[in-house]
């Protein structure tokens, strides 16, 4: 049994595209159903950094920093709104291996940099995982307006107020993890994305629609151990 984890998620961009629900359904395990908002499923790319990642109860000072890049969508199972991760690219070979082996998460090793200057976050990721499809992402993002609490905004709530995530393990089983955190604080955001090959890496065509951006400075999270569905 793997113990629960504590961590902080910081300097996040939620970059969101509408996707035909039937297209999304074809990319999901049969046990999960695409969750829809305004008649669409949604595909999101989320660059950010983890801070103070550690087993629950261990002091923050002993945690590690782990820049990360997620590709995710929104699903339901038994009526519970949740997140499904297609991939999680991260810096740190030992952390990636540990997440794959002990938490059954589809992590991929990548070279990632994140820097903040004048209120803008510069993020770059280059997947280097052996045997995996190449995937590159590079851009800059920043908040553009006043913050709001996600539960006060229907679309913001749809995207981020979810407390369970699913993944497909290497043996084909579906795993889930529950998370605990305060409500998200979001900002309207803008981004200048120079490179993004994540769609093709996961078998999606590049969406025609413009993405919807939200920024969050982040929050602290407790994640349960991984369980088989």
* CATH number for the domain that contains residue 115: 2.40.400.10
Instruction: Give the count of domains, the chain.
Output: 1
Q: What is the model's pLDDT at position 117?
A: 95
- What would the pLDDT profile of 11-68 be if each residue is shown by its tens digit? 999 999 999 999 999 999 999 999 999 999 999 999 999 999 888 999 999 988 989 9
User: How many helices and strands, by DSSP H and E, does the chain display?
Assistant: 4, 14
Which of these, 75, 106, 66, lies nearest to 202 by C-alpha position? Answer: 106
Model pTM score = 0.94
What mean pLDDT is predicted for residues 156-177?
93
pLDDT exceeds 50 at position 181: yes
Q: What is the model's pLDDT at position 194?
A: 98
Q: Tokens at residue 33, please?
A: 């159903």
138 neighbors 193 (Cβ within 8 angstroms):
yes
- What would the pLDDT profile of 75-84 be if each residue is shown by its tens digit? 999 999 999 9
pLDDT exceeds 50 at position 133: yes
- What would the pLDDT profile of 35-48 be if each residue is shown by its tens digit? 999 999 999 999 99
What mean pLDDT is predicted for residues 133-142?
96
Q: What is the model's pLDDT at position 226?
A: 87
How much is the CA Rg of the chain, to the nearest whole Å? 16
The answer for residues whose C-beta is within 8 angstroms of residue 93's C-beta and 6 or more apart is: 109
Residue 159 CA from chain centroid, whole number: 11
Q: In degrees, to the nearest 5, what angle opens at C-alpha 104 toward C-alphas 99 and 108?
A: 55
pLDDT exceeds 50 at position 1: no
Which range of residues forms the domain containing residue 69? Answer: 5-228
- The mean pLDDT value of the chain amounts to 92
Q: What is the model's pLDDT at position 95?
A: 53
With pLDDT > 70 as the criterion, what percentage of the chain qualifies?
93
pLDDT exceeds 70 at position 191: yes
């Amino acid at each position: 049994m793997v113990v629960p984890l504590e961590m902080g998620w910081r300097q996040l961009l939620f970059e969101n595209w509408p996707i035909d629900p039937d297209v999304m359904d074809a990319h999901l395990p049969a046990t999960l159903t695409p969750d829809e908002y305004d008649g669409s499923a949604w595909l999101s790319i989320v660059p950010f950094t983890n801070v103070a990642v550690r087993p629950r109860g261990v002091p923050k000072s002993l945690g590690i920093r782990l820049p990360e890049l997620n590709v995710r969508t929104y699903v339901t199972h038994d009526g519970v709104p949740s997140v499904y991760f297609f991939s999680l690219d991260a810096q740190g070979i030992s952390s990636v291996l540990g997440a794959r082996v002990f938490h059954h998460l589809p992590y991929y090793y990548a070279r990632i940099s994140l820097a903040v200057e004048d209120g803008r976050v510069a993020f770059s990721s280059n997947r280097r995982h052996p045997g995996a499809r190449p995937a590159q992402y590079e851009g800059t993002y920043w908040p553009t307006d006043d913050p709001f609490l996600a539960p006060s905004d229907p679309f913001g709530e749809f995207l981020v107020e979810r407390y369970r995530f699913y993944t497909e393990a290497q043996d084909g089983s579906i795993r889930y993890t529950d998370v605990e955190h305060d409500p998200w604080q979001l900002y309207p955001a803008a981004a200048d994305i120079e490179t993004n090959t994540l769609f093709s890496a996961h078998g999606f065509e590049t969406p025609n629609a413009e993405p919807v951006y939200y920024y969050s400075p982040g929050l602290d999270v407790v994640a349960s151990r991984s369980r088989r569905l």
